[in-house]
Structure 1
Amino acid sequence: MTAIPHWLVDLDMHGIAERLKRLREERGLTQTRLAELLGMAARSYNRWERGGHVPSLEMLIKAADVLQVSLDELVGRTATSSAPTIRNAELQQLVYEVDELPDREQQALIVVIDGLVKSAQVSRAVSRRTAGAKRIPGRTRD
């Protein structure tokens, strides 16, 4: 039988399980999706949240990265910060990677992302306008 690492002895595993669940829910992730991002089975992750299994240090670090908190925040040594600016963990990871790209490549990505965002905004505006026009009685469409 393997001995419990000394750093785990003082950790509040119930508290970690509760923080994992709260952080996951704040980020709009399901257990299945978070497990995918961590590269593990959903069933195994579920045991973490129930407090039935102790994650390894490596997996705690990975979970902290995916949930965008420090390891100290995840294990309860410091208070957790507010929800991340970018709620999609994959997109947040890409932001970190893009930050390492040369400025020219970053500028090209800004143009592409800006175009996608503006296109989505126009589509939403047209949909709202079209939906509003259909509800006005007696109004004819050109």
Structure 2
Amino acid sequence: MASIVLQVTVQDMAAFAERLKTLRESRKLTQTRLAELIGANSRAYNRWERGNFIPQLDTLMKIADVLNVTLDELTGRTTTTHEPVVHNPKLYALLQEVDSLPDVDQQALIILMDSLVKRAKMDRVLAA
């Protein structure tokens, strides 16, 4: 099987580091919190933001998921849109506060929101 060699320049690493920091800060996350959310060591994460290292692909995917961006946006292949995904201003404001809640409370919110969405889908199916 042929291997693919990727060359990453110092400029690429610096650009990635800056993009990572900007995305993290726009989500109001600390380096430590983002590292926790992706299951990484906070010292390793700090090295990524300083441009010393680039994370492995599986870690890049976790970061993109937590930051709610695509891999292309995270790596700079496309620009990141800063439009809120939630259009209801009150709900959007509350969602901005969710990251400060303990993980157990966040999990409870996920379960609650999932059940409400499933109920709404079921109501639409039954109404059709």
- What is the TM-score when the length of structure 1 is the normalising length? 0.58
- 1:94 maps to which residue? 110
Count of aligned pairs: 101
The alpha-carbon deviation at position 13 of structure 1 amounts to 1.8
Residues 79 and 99 of structure 1, relative CA distance in 2, 3 Å threshold: farther
- Aligned amino acid, residue 98 of structure 1: D
Q: Percent identity?
A: 48
Rounded to whole Å, the distance in 1 between the matches of 2:32 and 2:21 is 12
Where structure 2 has 5 or more consecutive residues not aligned to the other structure, the ranges are: 86-94, 124-128
Rounded to whole Å, the distance in 1 between the matches of 2:57 and 2:116 is 26
What is the CA deviation profile of residues 16-64 of structure 1, one whole-angstrom value per residue up to 9, with x for unaligned ones? 1101100111111100000000101111100000011110011111101
The alpha-carbon deviation at position 10 of structure 1 amounts to 5.1
The alpha-carbon deviation at position 99 of structure 1 amounts to 7.4
- 1:22 maps to which residue? 22
Rounded to whole Å, the distance in 1 between the matches of 2:115 and 2:51 is 36
Rounded to whole Å, the distance in 2 between the matches of 1:68 and 1:22 is 13
- 2:7 maps to which residue? 9
Residues 64 and 84 of structure 1, relative CA distance in 2, 3 Å threshold: farther
Residues 41 and 102 of structure 1, relative CA distance in 2, 3 Å threshold: same
* Pair member with larger Rg: 1
- 1:39 maps to which residue? 39
- What is the TM-score when the length of structure 2 is the normalising length? 0.64
The alpha-carbon deviation at position 15 of structure 1 amounts to 1.1
Where structure 1 has 5 or more consecutive residues not aligned to the other structure, the ranges are: 108-142
Rounded to whole Å, the distance in 2 between the matches of 1:78 and 1:101 is 30
